[in-house]
Amino acid sequence: MADFEIEAVSHLTPSLAQSIIALVPQLSSSAAQPGHETLESIVKSPATTIFIAKDGQALLGMLTLAVFRVPTGTRAIVEDVVVDGRHRGRGIASGLIREALARAKTDGARTVDLTSRPSREAANRLYLKLGFEQRQTNVYRLAFEDT
């Protein structure tokens, strides 16, 4: 039995917001930290769900699931998967992803996509183990300059 709980965030408390903000640098050292208002808008959006893993009040990891409709059907994307470095290797990422997949299926998604840098070898092995298939595709990004 897992020694942590996974839940979808339905209400953002100040302490949870601070815990999420503190975890973001482990996800990306270059990303700007989100503020409470940004996190609140994500939680309130019908298109996004933040899943968290916690042990009591301690935040162990999180991910964001986005589910959206396009003319070809309902799709989902898993983004920003991160587990606190002190708690890796406990099945937390696997648990988070399984919960996100269950929600995506319930919400009618035909597919769930995610991206991962090749250097994240453990994460890539996990995604394959969970049934994801590596696609032969090009991912393009256009970055807007800060204004």
Residues of the chain with pLDDT under 50: 147
* Residue 19 domain flag: yes
> How many independent structural domains does the chain possess?
1
pLDDT digits (tens, 9 = 90+) for 29-50: 888 889 999 999 999 999 999 9
Give the separation between CA 15 and CA 2, rounded to whole angstroms: 24
Mean pLDDT of the chain: 94
Report the pLDDT value the prediction gives residue 2, as an integer from 0 to 100.
74
| Domain that includes residue 9, residue range | 5-129
* Residue 136 domain flag: no
| pTM of the predicted protein model | 0.93
SS3 readout for the chain: CCCCEEEECCCCCHHHHHHHHHHHHHHCCCCCCCCHHHHHHHHHCCCEEEEEEEECCEEEEEEEEEEEEECCEEEEEEEEEEECHHHCCCCHHHHHHHHHHHHHHHCCCCEEECCCCCCCHHHHHHHHHCCCCCCCCCCCCCCCCCC
* Residue 122 domain flag: yes
* Residue 141 domain flag: no
* Residue 135 domain flag: no
- Say which CATH number the domain at 13 has: 3.40.630.30
Report the pLDDT value the prediction gives residue 31, as an integer from 0 to 100.
85
* Residue 89 domain flag: yes
Compute how many other C-beta atoms are within 10 angstroms of the C-beta atom of residue 113.
15
* Residue 51 domain flag: yes
* Residue 147 domain flag: no
- The answer to whether 100 and 77 are in contact (CB under 8 A) is no
